[in-house]
Amino acid sequence: MNRKIDDRTYLKYLLPSLNVKDLKQICREFEIKGYSKLKKDDLIDFILDSQSEEEMKELVNQKENLIIEEGIKLALDKINGKDRENVADIEIKNLDLNEIEIRFKGFNWETTTFLSITKNNIDNPDRDCDCNIGANMGFCSHFWVCFILSLKKGFFDIKFWTLTKLPNNFEESIKLIKVEENSTEENGEITDKSIKLIDESSADSILMRFINESITIYEGEITELDEKQSDFQGNITIYYLINLKNVRLGPRVKKKSDFKEDDLVNVNELKIRISENLQMEQDLSLGDKISLNGKLNRDNFAGIVIKNIRKVRKI
C-alpha cells in the first residue's frame, strides 16, 4: 500500500475515533507534557505538534489497525440492525460523481453522511458526516457504511484503495452483503425508490429487507403478551409487547392489484408493540391468530419490532 497523504494528515483522520482517555494515554506513552487540561480537539493537535515524523509514523503503526477494525465492526452492526443507530435512508445524489448520502437514525437523533469516491479522488475521497468523528473527515463507522455501499455499487476497485489499511478478512466479511434497489410505480410513473444494504449472512436478513417500511402481517400467532410501561420526561405510557410465531408478512400495498404472493416471507418469530387502548379494545390473548398493518423498526430495547399499529384483526 502506498498512501498519498502524509502521516500527520492521516492521524488527523484516525485520532478522532479515540476518546480523551486514550489520547492522554498516547501523551504518557510518548512522554508528552502539558496536556492535562486540554479538550479532545486541542489534545489531538497538541499530540501532533509535539511529535517528530518518526514518532508519528510509530503512532500510525500502533493505532491504525485497531481504529479501522473497530470502525468497520460498528458499520457492520449498523447494516445488520445491531447498533444503537440503523440505516434509515440511502440516496444516490449524483451518479456521475458517485455521490451517496446515508441517513442514520438513533433513538432520538439522526446522522447524515456523504461520500464520493471516484478515480480522481480515491487517494482521499470527498466525505462529510454530522458525527463528531466524521466532522473533520475522520473514519467514523458511518463512513465505513458508505464505503461498503460504494464498493458494492462498483464505484471503485478495492485494489486501488490506498488511503487506509483494511483488515485481512475485510472482503470475506462483506462478501454476502448485497445492495437491493426497489421502486414503486403509480400510473406508470416511479413514485418512490429505496436502496438497502442487506447482509445475507445475518439471521435477521429477511426482516432487514423491510426495516423502516410499512408492512402487513397476514398471519401470526401470539405466544407472549407482556404489559410494559415507559417513562419519558415524566410521562408514563402503558403499552403491550407481543411475541408472534409462524409469521407471514409482506410489504403493505395501497391497492389489491399491487399484491404479489412472491413478495411474502415467513419468519419464525417477531415482536409487535400495541397501545393500551388497542389491547383493551381487542382483548388479545395467548394463542390468538392475528393480522395487522404497521411499520417495522429497530428499537434499542426490544430489537426489531412492528410499531405504529392502529388496528388488529383476529383471524
Q: Is the dihedral of CA 26, 28, 30, 36 positive or negative?
A: positive
DSSP β-bridge partners for residue 126: 116
135 and 37, same structural domain?
yes
Looking at this protein, which amino acid is placed at residue 27? C
* Residue-wise pLDDT tens digits, 54-90: 999 999 999 999 999 999 999 999 999 889 998 999 9
Gap between the Cα atoms of 308 and 311, Å rounded = 9
129 and 30, same structural domain?
yes
**Is this structure's pTM higher than 0.75?**
yes
Q: Is residue 168 part of a domain?
A: yes
| φ/ψ of residue 32, rounded to 5 | -90, 130
Distances (CA, A) of 194 to 70, 222, 256, 274, 298: 28, 31, 21, 27, 18
pLDDT at residue number 186: 64
Which structural domain range is residue 228 located in?
210-314
Residue 191: is its pLDDT beyond 60?
Answer: no
Residue labelled with grid coordinates 383476529: 314
Instruction: CATH number of the domain at 287, please.
Output: 2.40.50.1040
Contact 253, 293 (CB under 8 A): no
Question: How many domains does the chain fold into?
Answer: 2
The whole-chain average pLDDT of the chain stands at 94
Contact 121, 137 (CB under 8 A): no
* Residue-wise pLDDT tens digits, 284-301: 999 999 999 999 998 878
pLDDT at residue number 2: 87
pLDDT at residue number 300: 76
DSSP assignment, residue 269?
E
